[in-house]
Amino acid sequence: AQSVTQLDSQVPVFEEAPVELRCNYSSSVSVYLFWYVQYPNQGLQLLLKYLSGSTLVKGINGFEAEFNKSQTSFHLRKPSVHISDTAEYFCAVSEGYIPTFGRGTSLIVHP
């Protein structure tokens, strides 16, 4: 069975600082990995995905993530955050068509 752990429930950061949101997963087979962003009162928007190939994945809004198979991690990074990046971020893993989501990390960007 697959599971996802997002270690930080909340990450406060100042504007223009770098940020890393951590995600670890467990699965016995090959997986697809995703990061979604959810702005208040909105649905999920796909930030980026890892399906195969290069372990460094670039997404929208300047975000990127690195798949580390040995550490079973898929951490999300951005070198310089903006106030508008304040949102909930969800990591998800899938062995097939049913994804398992983490509990989410609330990114709070302060001016």
Binding site for another protein (CB under 8 A): 4, 9, 32, 34, 36, 41-46, 49, 51, 90, 92, 94, 96-104
Tokens for 21? 């949101």
Alpha-carbon distance of 89 to 76, in angstroms, equals 9
Residues 86 and 12: their CA atoms lie apart, in Å, by: 9
* Cβ distance to another protein smaller for residue 21 or 104: 104
Comparison of 15 and 32: residue with beta carbon closer to another protein: 32
Work out how close the CB of 36 gets to another protein at its nearest, in angstroms, rounded to a whole number. 8
Is 88 in contact with 35 (CB distance < 8 Å)? no
Please state the closest distance from residue 101 (CB atom) to another protein, in A. 3
- Min CB(53)–another protein separation in Å: 13
* CA distance linking residue 39 with residue 101, whole number of Å: 16
Residue 52: burial class (beta carbons within 10 Å; 0-12, 13-18, 19+): exposed
- Of residues 54 and 80, the one with the C-beta less far from another protein: 54
- Asked if 95 and 29 touch (Cβ cutoff 8 Å), the reply is yes
CB nearer to another protein: pick between 24 and 102: 102
